[in-house]
Structure 1
Amino acid sequence: MTHEVVQKVEALGPRFAAAAAETEKLGKLSAESVALVREAGVMRMLQPKDFGGFAAHPRDFAEAVMAVARHCGSTGWVCGVGGVHPWEMALCDRKVQEEVWGQDSQTWIASPYMPSGVAVPTKGGYVLNGRWQFSSGTDHCDWIFLGAMVGGADGKPVTPPNGLHVILPRADYTIVDDSWNVVGLAGTGSKDIIVENAFVPAYRTISASEVAEGETAAERAGRTETVYRLPFWSMFPLGITSAVVGITEGVLEHHLAYQRDRTMSTGTKIKEDPYSLYAISDAAAEIAASRAQLLDGITRLHDLAEAGKTITFEQRALVRRNQIRCAWRAVMAADQIFSRSGGNALRLDNPLQRFWRDAHAGLHHAIHTPGPTYHTAALTEMGIDPAPGQRVMI
């Protein structure tokens, strides 16, 4: 059965699409785009029920992100990234959950998780400094997750490395307004963040390695719902790749609408040209395969957690490998039809070019880098235990 939030997104689809051009022009989500996301409830899908969320199956969350991205790539991307943050907040100290959602369950949380800051221990917590890039949707968020390394008295990361996710309220960090001017996903407003000597109480931190495992963090937080027992590096990539797949579905949708009545310069109608029709079906099948494999991977992990089984590193690695392949396969398919859309597809008033740019921008996220993850996945299938450095982001 289709989740109610997905149904709402589909009903609001034309309005998401109508707001997309303004979102791109503004370089951040437009007021209309934000209002539509809130109305549909996408950001609350992975939020715990005791704070007004749905605690939904991650498959349903992925389908909601795809549905938004099919109409507006930037809005779908912000939903895919920001929609995972309530999932992690559910694993944090109850005190910070109350601070974030106690007065308003619609409060949004930003990131990024790249450990671009140093948190030096002090009485009761840490002093944080750093600069982070790519904080998607940050203008619309009142709190933020930031990746950091625990530092020593010299302000440098300690050895061996000790990673944290730290949580800050909006008053404790600066958004660099002129730091997002890009060719694709322009409307995500993925700006830089600066933190200078901010005190972070210990209860507003969580171990990066503990969240990565999933099960341990859920037990410590007292969360019994299956979704909170999943690994971070299965959940976070899910939202991002769902956005990319949804964007390519948007490419296909607009390509079909454009080609339906188009006549080529040779005088042949597209609907009568077997080569164009073959390309359309070939691309559509590849995009559909990407959707199916992505949803299958997270469902398999959810089923394991639901059965009370521990998700192994090998299982995580194979799902991550497939998730990366889903993104690349879908964008490669979108390339095949965009290149057959004629010169008018390049015009800035044609949504096709925006979807195409957004799809390629999505591949630039670190979680879509195939080499290291493919390498590690192959080792695990050979029964070889990967070295610690080969386990990053898996």
Structure 2
Amino acid sequence: MSHEVVRRVEEVAAKFAAAADATERGGKLSDESVALVRQAGVMRMLQPAEFGGYAAHPGDFAEAVMAVAKRCGATGWVCGVGGVHPWEMALLDPRVAQELWGENPDSWMASPYAPQGTATITDDGYIVKGHWNFSSGTDHCDWVVLGALVCGADGAPTTPPQVLHVVIPRADYTIIDDSWDVIGLCGTGSKDVVVDGAYVPAYRTIDSSEVAEGELAAERAGRTETLYKLPFWAMFPLGITSAVIGICEGALDAHLDYQRERVNAMGTRVKDDPYVLSAISEAAAEIAASRTHLIDGISRLYDLADAGKTISFENRSLVRRNQVRAAWRAVAAVDEIFARSGGNAARKRTPLQRFWRDAHVGLQHAIHTPGSLYHSAALTSMGTEPEGPLRAMI
């Protein structure tokens, strides 16, 4: 049976779809889209139960993100990225959760995690400076979680290099309004943010290598729930790829609606064209396989953690390989059906072209880069332990 949040998304699916154009035109989630996300509770799925969250199975979270993205790619993307942040916040000092949700359980956080700034050590905390790209949904958030390279008092990076995730309130950073000018996922409002010397207490930070392992961070935070024992590089990519696959499901639905009564340039009804019908079925099967592959991977890791077993680098590597492949497979399937939709499908009034653009821009995210990740997964399968850069984002 579907999680209650997934059921609520499905109940208002038509409203998510109706708000999609306004979200794209505005370059950020429309007020209606934000209200629908809050009403359904998508952002609280991975939030601790004691702060109004569901602490749900990550597979259920993926289902909810896909259900939103199937109707509005930009809104699904923001849910996929922003919805993972409450999971990480549960691994920090308990004071952070109280600050975030003590008064408002619907408080949202943006990111990005790329270390595009510095955190200079000072008394019981850090001075943070930098300019970060791609802060999805940031206009609607009260906090931001940023990656920052730790520096000593002399301004030089520490040895060995250390990257922190730092949590900063809205008053301490600036959103650059004209910084999101793109061809797809326009409505995500993934704008740049700037921090110019904000003080961040040490308790509002976490070492990126610690949260990457999952189990260690959960132990230090006193978290016993299985959800919080999972590794970061399984959870963060889950939300993003869920959005991409949901977008591809939306493209398939839009294609079917478009083709149902269409007559092609040769005067043949699409329903009578065996070549297009074959392509539709093949694409549908590929997208369905991508959904199954994604949920199977995170469920396997969850089951290992739930059984008290250590999630090895090999476990993580193979799940990441399959997750990346799922995204590429689904987007390739959309290309096959879009190519058979005729010229009118490219008109801006059709939702199909928006899904097609959103899917391709979603595939551009760094977590979907197959090169070194596939390299690492192949070595792992051969019994060789990858080192250095080959362990990145796994």
TM-score, scaled to structure 1:
0.99
For 1:271-325, what per-residue CA distance to the aligned partner results, in whole angstroms no more than 9, with x for missing partners? 1111010000000000000000000000000000010000000000000000000
Q: 2:59 is matched with which residue?
A: 59
- Residue 116 of structure 2 aligns to a residue in which SS? strand
Q: 1:157 is matched with which residue?
A: 157
| Residue type at the aligned position of 1:311 | I
Q: 5+ unaligned residues in a row in structure 1: which ranges?
A: none
- Residue 376 of structure 1 aligns to a residue in which SS? helix
Q: 1:185 is matched with which residue?
A: 185
Shift of 1:152: 2.0
Q: 1:275 is matched with which residue?
A: 275
Q: 1:91 is matched with which residue?
A: 91
| Residue type at the aligned position of 1:323 | Q
Q: 1:74 is matched with which residue?
A: 74
Shift of 1:233: 0.2
Q: 2:43 is matched with which residue?
A: 43
Distance, in Å, in 2 between the alignment partners of 1:341 and 1:8 is 32
For 1:147-170, what per-residue CA distance to the aligned partner results, in whole angstroms no more than 9, with x for missing partners? 011112332322211110000000
Distance, in Å, in 2 between the alignment partners of 1:392 and 1:90 is 23
Q: 1:16 is matched with which residue?
A: 16
- Residue 12 of structure 2 aligns to a residue in which SS? helix
Q: 2:210 is matched with which residue?
A: 210
Q: 1:335 is matched with which residue?
A: 335
Q: 2:299 is matched with which residue?
A: 299
Native 8 Å contact 1:210 1:216 kept in 2: yes
Q: 1:137 is matched with which residue?
A: 137
Does structure 1 residue 372 correspond to structure 2 residue 383? no
Shift of 1:266: 1.1
Distance, in Å, in 1 between the alignment partners of 2:10 and 2:203 is 39
- Residue 126 of structure 1 aligns to a residue in which SS? strand
Distance, in Å, in 1 between the alignment partners of 2:98 and 2:88 is 14
Distance, in Å, in 2 between the alignment partners of 1:277 and 1:157 is 58
Distance, in Å, in 1 between the alignment partners of 2:203 and 2:159 is 23
| Residue type at the aligned position of 2:250 | G
Correspondence 1:375-394 to 2 at 5 A:
375-394=375-394
RMSD: 0.6
Shift of 1:124: 1.2
Q: 1:25 is matched with which residue?
A: 25
| Residue type at the aligned position of 1:283 | A
Distance, in Å, in 2 between the alignment partners of 1:192 and 1:229 is 31
Q: Which moved more, 1:235-244 or 1:260-269?
A: 260-269
Native 8 Å contact 1:118 1:156 kept in 2: no
- Residue 24 of structure 1 aligns to a residue in which SS? helix
Does structure 1 residue 246 correspond to structure 2 residue 246? yes
For 1:324-366, what per-residue CA distance to the aligned partner results, in whole angstroms no more than 9, with x for missing partners? 0000000000000011111110100111100000000001100
Q: Which moved more, 1:186-195 or 1:148-157?
A: 148-157
Q: 2:265 is matched with which residue?
A: 265
Native 8 Å contact 1:55 1:227 kept in 2: yes
Native 8 Å contact 2:72 2:247 kept in 1: yes
| Residue type at the aligned position of 1:235 | M
What fraction of aligned residue pairs are identical, expressed as a percent? Answer: 70
Runs of 4 or more off by more than 4 Å in structure 1? none
Shift of 1:390: 1.2
Distance, in Å, in 2 between the alignment partners of 1:155 and 1:292 is 47
TM-score, scaled to structure 2:
0.99
Distance, in Å, in 1 between the alignment partners of 2:6 and 2:276 is 32
Shift of 1:265: 1.3
Native 8 Å contact 2:122 2:153 kept in 1: no
Distance, in Å, in 2 between the alignment partners of 1:266 and 1:23 is 37
